[in-house]
Structure 1
């Protein structure tokens, strides 16, 4: 059995034994410098980390993509977090977390402020290499030898990209990677021996730029990457069989800023379970993050199964009461999960 029954809210039905729970979550486990997350994890006194652990244990996904988790070369922070989860009753024996693009120096002045080496001059925004990275945790075996890391893929190499007009110099265009954080296609082995591919990524928010809309264009194309991949228009063919696109897309289907065509096309080709929670007015909502009074709540985190998978349940973990206070202390984002039937 690969799912654990927990009453997330009144609207959630019990999970059946023959299902797999896949989730994505931005826990905001990023700090202002390298090694600081490991420090906080090992000290055991950080209330935010305690809250993140409580959220994950409460939902208990079988596969969890973390976006917003600091990477380090030895994977020490991730292993420390793995141990914290295990001590709380959530075991994840399999990890995947290669180096992300965040904080990776380019040697160029990408943001045009006259200086090199700033966080906006990196391949993906980051105060240091690996800041605000990604990590995949799984109770199922990860086929590491078959995993594909597309993080070095150049933006200029994406068919039908929106890089024209992004106001990049020829030097920047020649080295600018598409992925702000990473693009991974990672197969896991299901109980019957077949594979499920996890197409994971975390895009740049489509804001914090100028009239050239560089971040808006890049955000669009980071999602479009999976469309071109599935269409067979990239140098490598996709893994056969069922797959799930998951992660932080950073774009709401209807609200806020951003270029929506790629997201709309992706959602049309996939199954959108419309995971929901019940808001204060009693209405269902699919929002996954609360950006405060200036922006409000948006749906920016997604788990989208391919159409050949049978969805048996879904939700956004946005509880009320004490659990709600814990979730808010953990992150402005909320964990999103989808249950699919095992073959």
Structure 2
């Protein structure tokens, strides 16, 4: 009864939500979750630290301004190179987020989480069959150096480090019914990778993280990832099939089908029934357009466990119309696009998601994509992705 009353009050605007602080204990809390592929990756190890060591990097200032104007309480940043010890994260917070950018108010995140990812980690094997085993496509995830295209989570809520689960080392072949790529030139099935390669091939191109956030006396799980783009391959579709199964990992994790799954500490299984969560990240999969395998993102959207608020923007509609090309023949409504990609192919797509579980109450959501005539349109070239934000009412207890 109490939940029904609070829900009704929330919809009528009668609930005064507590501020998003670690001290929130009992009662509803209004919390904003956002995801932003900020393209803060660099071409060489150490370059991101160098760029963030002063407050003068033009791109980092733009990224920080977008974040400051959205003002999320919990944020996933995709394509933020991993540097051990949170060094790059600390520099970004100190030199950019805690300094107001272009009239935007400074913002502080007391908690940050980064961890190793598979991008750029050498495998010593020829995964792409180009005759060499030391290229960026032969790493466990495409990358020029270990940690490139990594992830960063910033939070105003404490992260329960003892409860964190990472899935960097889970092998693709250990997923039952894995959609392994097939060499179309041979009669055998699912044989692009040799048995030797499958013994070590990791499913996650970066990593999958389950981060429990302490909201009052409960844990709200932030499930974050960045599956590989379903392109840059051949008819074997090795990236498309991998993207599909990287998304499937979360679908199985939240629906009780992950008995096969083991994390990097050896713990098996997925989320327990009734646990509240938010899935976030650049999933590189549009529900109907683009190159991803059919039904890839629908595995999560149609799982029955998440609420899809379909964040939108008028800026995306304007961009699709003006840019033309593939955008003119796409089936999806461009208002939901989050990525501004090549106009000829694939065109603009919806690939970035913030998806709350049932039991959380969405208040409003949107894509940060200002109209061309807006003073903030200068931020549209910050990245080829646009920030997606969702404000939730969380009934903390």
Equivalent in the alignment of 1:234: 260
Matched, 1:316 2:367: yes
Instruction: Kindly name which structure, 1 or 2, has the bigger radius of gyration based on alpha carbons.
Output: 2
- In the alignment, structure 1 segments of 5+ residues that lack a partner are 5-16
Residue 49 of structure 1: aligned partner:
60
Counterpart residue number, 1:7: none
Q: 2:114 aligns with which of 91, 97, 106?
A: 97
| Alpha-carbon displacement from aligned partner over 1:13-43 (angstroms, at most 9, x marks no partner) | xxxx941100110000011101111111113
Structure 2 unmatched ranges of 5 or more: 1-17, 22-27, 101-105, 183-189, 262-267, 323-332
Instruction: Give the corresponding residue for 2:335.
Output: 285
* Aligned-partner Cα distance in 1 for 2:128–2:342: 27
**Does the 8 Å contact 2:86/2:112 carry over to 1?**
no
User: Match of 1:275?
Assistant: 311
Please show how residues 81-120 of structure 1 align to structure 2 within 5 Å.
81-83=92-94, 84-88=96-100, 89-120=106-137
TM value normalised by structure 1: 0.92
Q: Which moved more, 1:124-133 or 1:161-170?
A: 161-170
Cα deviation, residue 262, structure 1 = 3.7
Answering whether residue 347 of structure 2 is matched by residue 296 of structure 1, we say: yes
Taking the TM superposition and a 5 Å limit, the aligned residue runs for 1:117-196 are: 117-163=134-180, 165=182, 167-190=192-215, 192-196=216-220
Match of 1:217 in 2: 241
Q: Output the CA distance in 2 between the equivalents of 1:159 and 1:226.
A: 14
**Alpha carbons 2:243, 2:296 under 8 Å: kept:** no
What TM-score results when the alignment is normalised by the length of structure 2? Answer: 0.79
Does the 8 Å contact 2:120/2:140 carry over to 1? yes
Paired residues of 1:3 and 1:61 also in contact (CA < 8 A) = no
Runs of 4+ in 1 over 6 A off after TM superposition: 281-284
Secondary structure of 1:199's aligned partner: strand
Aligned 8 A contact 1:51 1:327 in 2:
no
Answer yes or no: is the 8 Å Cα contact 2:38–2:78 preserved in 1: yes
Give me the whole-angstrom Cα distance separating, in 2, the residues matched to 1:136 and 1:323: 25
Please give the alpha-carbon distance, in whole angstroms, between the structure 2 residues aligned to 1:254 and 1:204: 18
The answer on whether the counterparts of 2:247 and 2:299 sit within 8 Å (CA) in structure 1 is no
What's the counterpart of residue 299 of structure 2? 265
* Cα distance change on mapping 1:2 and 1:106 into 2, 3 Å: farther
2:187 is matched with which residue? none
Offset of residue 224 of structure 1: 0.5
1:246-284: CA deviation from partner (whole Å, max 9, x where unpaired): 111101111111113242131022110100101326987
Give, in whole Å, the separation in 2 of the partners of 1:2 and 1:284.
34
Q: Secondary structure at 2:85's aligned position in 1?
A: coil
Asked if the contact 2:44/2:145 (under 8 Å) is kept, the reply is yes
Say what the alpha-carbon RMSD is for the aligned residues.
Answer: 1.8
